[in-house]
Structure 1
Amino acid sequence: MKQAIVVRTDLKMGKGKIAAQASHAAIGAYKIADKSSIRKWEQEGQKKVVLKVSSERELLELFYKAKNTSPVACTLITDAGHTQIEPSTRTCIGLGPASDDEIDALVGDLKLL
């Protein structure tokens, strides 16, 4: 069981901004995940991976793939624009928690952030 956070690198967000956006994604996906998946993930140590894509297009393709073809909980994070980036900028997605196989089927080809 694991959770995956996928962050856009083309936005050149600072480390703190990335941490905040990734936190939004982790919590957002957690809140909509299947309760049995959450319990199992919590019992197994709450494994997470943070991965990267280089564009909004890649982020949205992955988000819609997960939404339309997978049972994995997913959430798209859109920034309010109070600090480093413009309002309504899509920054990252959260996936899971779900089985390693389900997550890997979606993001297994991505590199770590």
Structure 2
Amino acid sequence: MKQVIVMRADLGMSKGKLAAQACHASIGAYKKADERIIRDWELEGGKKVVVQVKSQQELFEIYELVKAAEIPSYLVTDAGHTELPPSTVTCLGIGPEKEEKIDKITQDLKLLK
């Protein structure tokens, strides 16, 4: 079981902004997950992995695959109060769900650095 957060690396967000956006994605996707999946994920330690994409287009492509696979997800759109223009899509929370199901979509994405 795991959760994956897919961050846009092209926005130049500060570390604090990245962390806040990742938290929005994590909680948003968590709220959409089935209770049994959440329980299993928490019992296994609540594994989270943060990866990156290079563009909004790449993020949307991942999002479409996740929706088609019926994995709980949450697309984060920033309100624009600090660093980014309003309605900037920043990241995607995926899962929690079985690793194998998520890995089919995200296994080739690089870790966020």
Q: What TM-score does the superposition give when structure 1 sets the normalisation length?
A: 0.97
- Structure 1 position 76 matched with structure 2 position 75: yes
Residue 18 of structure 1 is matched in structure 2 by: 18
Amino acid at match of 1:70: A
Deviation at 1:72, TM superposition (A): 1.1
User: 1:95 aligned to 2:79?
Assistant: no
Residue in structure 2 matched with residue 33 of structure 1 by the alignment:
33
- One-letter code of the match for 2:27? I
Q: What CA deviation, in whole Å up to 9, does each residue of 1:48-67 have, x standing for no partner?
A: 00000000000011111111
CA–CA separation in structure 1 for the residues paired with 2:65 and 2:101: 12
**Shift of residue 99, structure 1, vs aligned partner:** 0.6
| Helix, strand or coil at the partner of 1:91 | strand
Q: TM-score, normalised by structure 2?
A: 0.97
Say how many residue pairs are matched: 112
**Which residue number corresponds to residue 61 of structure 1?**
61
SS in structure 2 at match of 1:84: coil
Instruction: Give distance in 2, aligned partners of 1:90 and 1:64.
Output: 14
- Unmatched runs of 5 consecutive residues or more in structure 2: none
How far apart, in 2, do the equivalents of 1:29 and 1:99 lie?
Answer: 14
Q: Secondary structure at the match of 2:76?
A: strand
Q: Percent identity?
A: 56
Residue 99 of structure 1 aligns with an amino acid whose one-letter code is K
Counterpart-to-counterpart distance in 2, 1:65 and 1:75: 13
Q: Secondary structure at the match of 1:27?
A: helix
Q: Give the CA deviation at 1:71.
A: 2.4
The Cα of 1:103 is off from its aligned counterpart by 1.0
Q: Which residue identity does 2:45 align to in structure 1?
A: G
C-alpha distance in 2 between matches for 1:109 and 1:72: 18
Q: Give the secondary-structure state (helix, strand or coil) at the position aligned to 1:95.
A: strand
Q: Which amino acid aligns with 1:5?
A: I
